[in-house]
Amino acid sequence: MAAPFDLSDDSVVVIIGTGAGGGTLANELAQKGISVVALEAGGRHLPNDYINDEWESFGQLAWLDMRTTSGDWRVSRDFPNLPAWIVKAVGGSTVHWAGASLRFQEHEWRVRTEYGDIEGANLLDWPITADEMDPWYAKAEEKIGVTRTGGRPGLPGNNNYKVFEAGAKKLGYTQVHTGRMGINSVERDGRPACQQTGFCFQGCKFGAKWSTAYTEIPKGEATGNLEVREHAHVLKIEHGEDGRVTGVVYADKEGNQHRQAARVVAVAGNSIESPRLLLNSASAMFPDGLANSSGQVGRNYMRHMTGSVYAIFPEPVRMWRGTTMAGIISDESRNDPARGFVGGYEMETLSIGVPFMAAFLDPGAWGREFSSAMDGYENMAGMWLVGEDMPQESNRVTLHGEIKDQYGMPVPDVHFTDHPNDVAMRAHAYAQGAAVYDAVGATRTMPTPPYPSTHNLGTNRMSEKPGDGVVNRFGQSHDIPNLFVSDGSQFTTGASENPTLTIVALAIRQAETMAGMMARGEI
Amino acid sequence: MTETRAVRAMTRRELLSSGVAAGAAMVVGGGFVASATEAWAMETKALQPATMATLIQMSRDIYPHDRIADRHYALAVKAHDEKAAGDPDFAKMIEDGVAGLDAAAAEAGHGSYLGTGWEIDRVALLRAIEDGGFFQTIRGGLVVGLYNQKDVWPVFGYEGSSAEYGGYLERGFDDIAWL
């Protein structure tokens, strides 16, 4: 049963956030007999609560606390207070992820070496190798039940995939299939196979898609070693005179503040909230924020090079039926600088409903050019383009100088401007995406600009040397030994793959390391 | 529509005869705007009925869907009337916006926005104000106000919620036949 721990219990590991990183870490530690208090800013929503309605679900799940944006990115113009589309609930963004579960390619762990010095890019090799990650990836795939790994069958292709696959093959692409997905293709782990419902982004009503909300979290709670406190929004991490963290201050649902003592603190609030929390925890001893002797906290914000291509055909496609992300083309994910950019991108089918199509197809557009595209909705196919973007020191999360949140804490500002490499890659990806659909008779193709960020990465990055980043190869902060980062903010670079599998693999590995350090009395 | 209570006492003929034509498709009268051809009428709380009629036409000109009836555009802009009822500054912004549009239409020789007979001419009037707050308020409200009406989804072929039907596993998720 879920264990209640005392606020003054300083033997517990406090984990901030219950998504892919925090939720996985919480269960892994609980399984090892370690006491864990997981503090989740949102409430608990389970499959029965999820809503097959885009805006209603958005209101239920999305992180809507005040944020500001700056920089040249179009999101800042069209959605100035919505830099990211992520979830505020138990399970975090594993409630709305599409399920793509891809390993990094070997070279993507060492891109500074592979790509060389790219002007304006703050590239760095990860302090981990592909070989070292192999067994952790295998554990993550087993945990999630990733299709097309471990002998598990792939999902069947829906209409959107069939159009995509046919176009890809006509173009000569060879790495085309229905994806390695964190969605059951057969009943597994007490959860059914995919019912092709659509609405993967709104939470899977059948629980076929893996989410920590109904896998890791209840499994951890069943050990008696994990307590999840919902509506517990952490405001500040505190430390003692020895510079080690001692606990966290959080606000409950009513806004009352509490202090939970801690032996270890692991931050997993996604790449906007995690650096914000470290910066908001500044003290006399750490005036620039916790774990920030490098000055890298909040910097190198990455969001993947993204964009979409929607195409209209003479006949119906009905792309919304079935898995939202139903297949992948990986041919362009290689590093081939002859294309005019370093790194690569994946092409993945995507579907959004009429309400979100109206909001995101071409924000701000109006008139018949726009409405005629909407009129073609039933005959539309769609894909998302997701590639490696360049880390830049000036793309960063900072604390807003004036605006405060409901608890009186400075809100985050998210500053982003594309690197020229990102722009060149996007242009190539748009052209290839359109070519896929043209090959099977599209009568109109439309490049669609990036949505508010779903892949938020890099703002507490991992580095070999303390001067280059915030955390070491285990996600442990260079400055404070009992302070860890457990989410995508520890990514040194973003690779071209969807990040969840890597976040989960790193969390499993981190739990092993953390447990060893605790057993040896190092933390 | 559900907003017909106050005008239900009148017959449709009486209602229409009590108002004056607002463009080709609508009639406005004391506290209401009604369709000249469809069976709906809408009370107005704070905005002038002629203003609401203009907003409805303007909405169709912004997101023209020839297979969507006026009542959906009327529903989409109704929230502005409700907001105006509790926010005089907002009401003034809307009334001033419509007045400005009418003035521009008069200058162009059309009399008023609703009196501007051709879509191409009305769109030209809108292009001239598209960066302004009034236009962006109306356009921005339509993104959700129009496209999130479940009643209009069938026009786009969109089927909405599917979980209650067991998803599409047995209902055509892979039924494409023309490839």
Residue type, A16: I
| A52 to B143: CB separation less than 8 angstroms, yes or no | no
**Domain limits for position A508:** 13-43+51-79+87-519
With beta carbons less than 8 A apart as the criterion, state whether A196 and B168 touch: yes
Tokens read off for B74: 């009327």
Count the Cβ atoms, other than its own, within 10 Å of residue A369: 10
* CATH assignment at residue A329: 3.50.50.60
> Which of B152, B148, B13, B154 has the alpha carbon at shortest distance from B71?
B152
Query: In A196-297, where does DSSP find H-type helix?
Result: 216-222, 270-280
**Within-domain flag for A4:** no
* Residues from chain A contacting residue B141 (CB–CB below 8 Å): none
| A52 to B158: CB separation less than 8 angstroms, yes or no | no
- pLDDT score recorded for residue A485: 98
Tokens read off for A123: 């590239």
| Closest in A158, A206, A374 to B174, CB measured | A158
Q: Which residue has the higher pLDDT, B105 or B41?
A: B105
Q: Which of the residues B122, B168, B170, B175 would you substitute to probe the A interface, choosing the one with the greatest number of A C-beta atoms within 10 Å? A: B168
* Residues from chain B contacting residue A366 (CB–CB below 8 Å): 62-63, 130, 139
* Residues from chain A contacting residue B157 (CB–CB below 8 Å): 316, 318, 377-378
| B148 to A368: CB separation less than 8 angstroms, yes or no | no
With beta carbons less than 8 A apart as the criterion, state whether A226 and A220 touch: yes
| B173 to A322: CB separation less than 8 angstroms, yes or no | yes
Q: Is A401 exposed, middle or buried (CB count within 10 Å of its CB: 0-12, 13-18, 19+)?
A: exposed
* Residues from chain B contacting residue A440 (CB–CB below 8 Å): 179
At residue A500's C-alpha, the angle toward residues A499 and A504, to 5°, is: 120
Rg (Cα) of chain A, in Å, rounded? 22
Residues 6+ apart with CB under 8 A from A40: A17, A18, A89, A90, A92, A228, A229, A230, A231, A232
| B173 to A159: CB separation less than 8 angstroms, yes or no | yes
> How many Å lie between the alpha carbon of B11 and the closest alpha carbon of chain A?
36
Distance CA A306, CA A100 (A): 15
| Closest in A51, A313, A371 to B65, CB measured | A371
| B173 to A370: CB separation less than 8 angstroms, yes or no | no
Residue of B nearest to A51 (CA): B161
* Residues from chain A contacting residue B76 (CB–CB below 8 Å): none
Give the residue carrying structure tokens 């000569």. Answer: A172
| A375 to B65: CB separation less than 8 angstroms, yes or no | yes
> How many Å lie between the alpha carbon of A396 and the closest alpha carbon of chain B?
29
Tell me, rounded to whole angstroms, the distance of Cα A307 from its chain centroid. 16
Calculated CA dihedral for residues B106, B110, B113, B114, nearest 10 degrees: 140
| B143 to A359: CB separation less than 8 angstroms, yes or no | yes
Residues 6+ apart with CB under 8 A from A388: A108, A111, A304, A305, A342, A343, A344, A345, A425, A493, A494, A495, A496
| B174 to A157: CB separation less than 8 angstroms, yes or no | yes
Residue of B nearest to A439 (CA): B179
ipTM: 0.95
Q: Which of the residues B147, B149, B152, B170 would you substitute to probe the A interface, choosing the one with the greatest number of A C-beta atoms within 10 Å? A: B147
Residue type, A478: H
| B168 to A197: CB separation less than 8 angstroms, yes or no | yes
> In a structure prediction context, what are the per-residue pLDDT tens digits for chain A, which is 523 residues long?
556 999 999 999 999 999 999 999 999 999 999 999 999 999 999 999 999 999 999 999 999 999 999 999 999 999 999 999 999 999 999 999 999 999 999 999 999 999 999 999 999 999 999 999 999 999 999 999 999 999 999 999 999 999 999 999 999 999 999 999 999 999 999 999 999 999 999 999 999 999 999 999 999 999 999 999 999 999 999 999 999 999 999 999 999 999 999 999 999 999 999 999 999 999 999 999 999 999 999 999 999 999 999 999 999 999 999 999 999 999 999 999 999 999 999 999 999 999 999 999 999 999 999 999 999 999 999 999 999 999 999 999 999 999 999 999 999 999 999 999 999 999 999 999 999 999 999 999 999 999 999 999 999 999 999 999 999 999 999 999 999 999 999 999 999 999 999 999 999 999 999 999 999 999 9
| Closest in B63, B64, B148 to A355, CB measured | B148
Distance CA A297, CA A106 (A): 27
* Residues from chain A contacting residue B62 (CB–CB below 8 Å): 366-367
- pLDDT score recorded for residue B11: 63
| A163 to B63: CB separation less than 8 angstroms, yes or no | no
- pLDDT score recorded for residue B43: 92
Cα distances (Å, whole numbers) of residue A91 to A38, A57, A171: 11, 15, 39
Residues 6+ apart with CB under 8 A from A27: A212, A216, A217, A219, A220, A226
With beta carbons less than 8 A apart as the criterion, state whether A506 and A475 touch: yes
- pLDDT score recorded for residue B20: 85
At residue A61's C-alpha, the angle toward residues A17 and A259, to 5°, is: 35
A:B CB pairs within 8 Å: 120
Residue-by-residue DSSP string for B116-170 = ---HHHHHHHHHTTTTSHHHHHHHHHHHHHTTT-GGGHHHHT-----GGGTTTTT
> How many Å lie between the alpha carbon of B166 and the closest alpha carbon of chain A?
7
Count the Cβ atoms, other than its own, within 10 Å of residue B71: 19
| High-pLDDT (> 70) share of chain B, % | 92
| B174 to A371: CB separation less than 8 angstroms, yes or no | no
Q: Does B75 touch chain A (CB under 8 A)?
A: no
Write out A447-494 in H/E/C secondary structure: EECCCCECCCECCCCECCCCCCCCECCCCEECCCCCEEECCHHHCCCC
Tokens read off for A55: 């805006």
Distance CA A228, CA A221 (A): 8
Window 106-125 of B, Cβ < 8 Å to A? 123
Residue of B nearest to A49 (CA): B163
Q: Does B79 touch chain A (CB under 8 A)?
A: no
* Residues from chain A contacting residue B139 (CB–CB below 8 Å): 364, 366
Residue-by-residue DSSP string for A42-91 = SB---GGG--S-HHHHHHHHB--S--EEESS-HHHHHSTT-SB--B-BTT
Phi, psi of A230 (to 5 degrees): -85, 160
> What is the number of domains present in chain A?
1
* Residues from chain A contacting residue B147 (CB–CB below 8 Å): 354-355, 357-359, 374
* Residues from chain B contacting residue A47 (CB–CB below 8 Å): none
| A367 to B64: CB separation less than 8 angstroms, yes or no | yes
Residue type, B58: M
pLDDT at B19 over 90: no
* Residues from chain A contacting residue B67 (CB–CB below 8 Å): 375
> Which of A61, A56, A58 has the alpha carbon at shortest distance from A45?
A61
Residue type, A168: A
Distance CA A432, CA A437 (A): 9
Tokens read off for B21: 């034509």
